[in-house]
Chain A
Amino acid sequence: MKPPLGIWAHVCGSDLVRDADGKLYALEDNLRIPSGVSYMLENRIVAKRVFPELFETCTILPVDEYPMQLYETLAALSPRPGEQPVIALLTPGVFNSAYFEHTYLAQAMGIELVEGSDLFVGEDDCTYMRTVYGPQRVDVIYRRVDDLFLDPEVFKPDSALGVRGLMRSWRAGKVALANAPGAGVADDKVVFAYVPKMIEYYLGEDALLPNVPSYLCTDDRERRYVLDHLGELVVKPANESGGYGMLIGPRSTKKQREKFKKLVVADPRNYIAQPTLSLSTVPIVTPRGPSPRHVDLRPFILSSSNVYVTTGGLTRVAMKSGSLVVNSSQGGGAKDTWVVDVEEPR
């Protein structure tokens, strides 16, 4: 199985943080279904409305070409090159927390917003949309549905969000899926720890951005270190998202540390630990005036015939004072981030 252009992860959102030493580190990669790009676009619209003077006097690099770049990334995957591709965004539906983003992106790209029940796979293994004109073939699907729900024929048999036969259609090369099924293995935080070594092995280069150092609990020596230093480290489950199931050592109680000790010993493959970083802060406005809050930055990377990196990104802010949890599912906020071109001041 070789996906078009040999690319599995067409859309990637990597979380970057700045530590007390002032250096940027890669904290984790999101390759399964990275989300949040619509907030980046909306935040920029708001920032332009609030600070028009700053945008006039500084050269702030734009982010608004993202939907067009994404469209081209998707179009390049079409199994019928030369023809106007039919592209659809597959959403789990209105009850998904990212539904706003799905609608936003589908509209911004001028593609169809479809749910699993809108699609079917024919006997010719092609994927079709049900339209008022009859079935219409779909070339590329930007799927925002998790792997396990994609196709009840292969994965969860009771999934109502997916399309029966979609994996068959994909394997036959009749439809392109972005991101390709399986790209989520890179979201595993244990796999992530090996990324610098992968770069070295496959590309013969050093990583430009260092990883936040990770301790692998499968390694006897490192696990012993983790268990002895639980009070200083952040322990994360390998395959969770949304900032759930973590232990933040310096803020933990003895009871929590005891609990994690048992969890790590019972299933070492499922945990990694990282030093507690002193994440950089930005000011936010509170009822009592400006106040610092911790942030991280998620630029989006599109890989197709070309590679495109947003000149900006989703900046997530922990809204609680002192908190290191920036996830929106846990009440985090968002900010606009500017990449300012200082070479050519106006």
Chain B
Amino acid sequence: MLSRVAENLYWFARYVRRAENMARLVGVGSQLQLDLPRSVKFMWQPMIDTVGGAGLFRKLYPDAGSAPADVDVMRFLLLDEGNPSSLRRSVDTAREVMRSIRDALPPQIWEVVTDLHMFLGGDAEGLVTRRHRVDLISRIVDGCLKISGLVTATVSRDIGFQFMQFGTAIEQADMTTRIIDAGASGLVAPRKEEDRETFRNLQWMAVLSSLAADQTYRRYVRRRVTGEHALQFLLQSDTFPRSVYFCLTRMQRMLGVMPARPDVKTKLDSVVNSIRAADPGALVRQNPASFMDEIQLELGVLHGAVAGAYFNVAAA
């Protein structure tokens, strides 16, 4: 398999998974907002920070101030072509990446990606209003899941498939840490100190449901949702497919059928060890943000190793 084709398959899978997570993240924010009493304020800022867009948001929406308007944030996160991590840019990039490898994937996948691309490029203003937001989000999530379904159901299990699965897993691990980050850094700001604990937990429930983990959490953890348990579940569950640990061990298994490259294995083992060693209780007490940043950096290093080993084959 050509390195270029493998790389494009990898990035295609990553962008599709990124778009899906972004849609879920925004969806959960919208839901949470509706649940809060008037004494508790919903904060969009952490959500903007988590995708690394704080500076850019200020630049594109200079009048937004410290408590940005709902519609501006929606436009920025979902539709803004000036924001490289917006949902629309993820979908468009996935489509551009697929263009040169269309022959490597079933044609229905191209149709679904193109459908999402047309949908997001359509009547944009109407989509961000609160009335249509649920439709928008579920349509994106459905589209992305349809692509995942087509991949598992119809793509031949060759080496290219492994690169897609690897891309999906590394992107999910990364997005899970970002969603935890957003949740932990306080999407809600209670005005009274005694409300703090209650709403913190409400917030963790929102985080779980944004990763479609709420039901599974209840079945496996069987405890009231608290920061510590939610964090443990999302970081270390060995059965939930969106937990960081699950994604990483999946990658470890995939390495077994990919051409052996010691550097990739070392980097991956190192992230796995960091996750295993993490103490969720301590992390929740200290604010997990800096740990999540560390994991994201480690995943970045892992990506670099994968690119070096498989994508940038040098003239030796």
A residues apposed to B, CB below 8 Å: 93-94, 103, 106-107, 112-115, 117-118, 120-122, 128-135
Do B100 and A93 touch (CB < 8 A)? yes
Q: Would you give the shortest CB distance from A175 to chain B, in whole angstroms?
A: 15
Partner of A113 from the list B103, B312, B313, B316 (CB cut-off 8 Å) is B103
Do A122 and B259 touch (CB < 8 A)? no
B273-316 vs A, CB cutoff 8 Å, 1 = contact: the mask equals 00000000000000000000000000000000000001111011
B145 within 8 A of partner (CB): no
B6 within 8 A of partner (CB): yes
Q: Would you give the shortest CB distance from A247 to chain B, in whole angstroms?
A: 39
The 10 A-B residue pairs whose C-beta atoms are closest, nearest first, are: A130-B313, A130-B3, A120-B315, A132-B310, A132-B6, A103-B103, A94-B100, A133-B259, A132-B1, A118-B2
Do B103 and A132 touch (CB < 8 A)? no
Query: Can you name 14 extra interface pairs (CB under 8 A) apart from A132-B163, A134-B316?
Result: A93-B100, A112-B2, A114-B2, A115-B100, A117-B4, A118-B2, A118-B3, A131-B2, A131-B313, A132-B1, A132-B6, A132-B159, A133-B1, A134-B313
Residues on the A chain within 8 Å of B312, using CB: 130
Alpha-carbon gap, A51 to B281, bound state (A): 73
Residues on the A chain within 8 Å of B4, using CB: 115, 117-118, 130
Alpha-carbon gap, A24 to B3, bound state (A): 48
Do A131 and B1 touch (CB < 8 A)? yes
Minimal Cβ-Cβ distance residue in A for B99: A94
Residues on the B chain within 8 Å of A106, using CB: 103
B residues apposed to A, CB below 8 Å: 1-4, 6, 99-100, 102-103, 159, 163, 258-259, 310-313, 315-316
Do A135 and B6 touch (CB < 8 A)? no
Residues on the B chain within 8 Å of A128, using CB: 315
Partner of B103 from the list A93, A107, A114 (CB cut-off 8 Å) is A107
Alpha-carbon gap, A131 to B7, bound state (A): 10
Residues on the A chain within 8 Å of B2, using CB: 112, 114, 118, 129-132
Residues on the B chain within 8 Å of A132, using CB: 1-3, 6, 159, 163, 258-259, 310-311, 313
Residues on the A chain within 8 Å of B1, using CB: 131-133
Residues on the B chain within 8 Å of A107, using CB: 103
Q: Would you give the shortest CB distance from A89 to chain B, in whole angstroms?
A: 11
Do B315 and A122 touch (CB < 8 A)? yes
Minimal Cβ-Cβ distance residue in B for A129: B2
Residues on the A chain within 8 Å of B313, using CB: 130-132, 134-135
Residues on the B chain within 8 Å of A120, using CB: 315
Q: Would you give the shortest CB distance from A306 to chain B, in whole angstroms?
A: 29
Q: Would you give the shortest CB distance from B99 to chain A, in whole angstroms?
A: 5
Alpha-carbon gap, A114 to B100, bound state (A): 10
Alpha-carbon gap, A190 to B2, bound state (A): 42
Most buried by B among A117, A128, A130, A132: A132
Residues on the A chain within 8 Å of B259, using CB: 132-134
Q: Would you give the shortest CB distance from A291 to chain B, in whole angstroms?
A: 34
Q: Would you give the shortest CB distance from B255 to chain A, in whole angstroms?
A: 12
Q: Would you give the shortest CB distance from B31 to chain A, in whole angstroms?
A: 40
Alpha-carbon gap, A103 to B5, bound state (A): 13
Residues on the B chain within 8 Å of A114, using CB: 2
Alpha-carbon gap, A106 to B100, bound state (A): 13
Alpha-carbon gap, A101 to B175, bound state (A): 39
Minimal Cβ-Cβ distance residue in B for A113: B103
Residues on the B chain within 8 Å of A103, using CB: 102-103
Q: Would you give the shortest CB distance from A82 to chain B, in whole angstroms?
A: 25
Alpha-carbon gap, A89 to B152, bound state (A): 29
Minimal Cβ-Cβ distance residue in B for A115: B4
Minimal Cβ-Cβ distance residue in A for B103: A103
Residues on the A chain within 8 Å of B258, using CB: 132
Q: Would you give the shortest CB distance from B86 to chain A, in whole angstroms?
A: 24
Alpha-carbon gap, A219 to B229, bound state (A): 92
Residues on the A chain within 8 Å of B102, using CB: 103
Q: Would you give the shortest CB distance from A135 to chain B, in whole angstroms?
A: 6
Alpha-carbon gap, A107 to B4, bound state (A): 17
Alpha-carbon gap, A43 to B316, bound state (A): 45
Alpha-carbon gap, A258 to B310, bound state (A): 61
Partner of A135 from the list B100, B159, B311, B315 (CB cut-off 8 Å) is B315
Task: Decide yes or no: A131 and B3 within 8 Å by CB, A120-B315, A122-B315 being known contacts.
Answer: yes
Q: Would you give the shortest CB distance from B81 to chain A, in whole angstroms?
A: 21
Q: Would you give the shortest CB distance from B89 to chain A, in whole angstroms?
A: 19
Minimal Cβ-Cβ distance residue in B for A117: B4
Residues on the A chain within 8 Å of B100, using CB: 93-94, 115
Residues on the B chain within 8 Å of A131, using CB: 1-3, 313
Minimal Cβ-Cβ distance residue in B for A91: B100
8 A-B contacts, Cβ less than 8 Å apart?
A: A115-B100, A120-B315, A122-B315, A130-B3, A131-B3, A132-B2, A132-B258, A132-B310
Alpha-carbon gap, A128 to B315, bound state (A): 8
Alpha-carbon gap, A128 to B313, bound state (A): 10
Alpha-carbon gap, A118 to B2, bound state (A): 7
Minimal Cβ-Cβ distance residue in A for B7: A132
Alpha-carbon gap, A112 to B159, bound state (A): 15
Q: Would you give the shortest CB distance from B312 to chain A, in whole angstroms?
A: 8
Q: Would you give the shortest CB distance from A111 to chain B, in whole angstroms?
A: 12
Alpha-carbon gap, A121 to B102, bound state (A): 27
Do B316 and A135 touch (CB < 8 A)? yes
Alpha-carbon gap, A115 to B2, bound state (A): 10
Residues on the A chain within 8 Å of B310, using CB: 132
Alpha-carbon gap, A128 to B99, bound state (A): 24
Residues on the A chain within 8 Å of B316, using CB: 122, 134-135
Alpha-carbon gap, A42 to B1, bound state (A): 27
Q: Would you give the shortest CB distance from A23 to chain B, in whole angstroms?
A: 42
Residues on the A chain within 8 Å of B99, using CB: 94
Alpha-carbon gap, A106 to B315, bound state (A): 25
Minimal Cβ-Cβ distance residue in B for A88: B2
Q: Would you give the shortest CB distance from A168 to chain B, in whole angstroms?
A: 13
Residues on the B chain within 8 Å of A117, using CB: 4
Minimal Cβ-Cβ distance residue in A for B6: A132
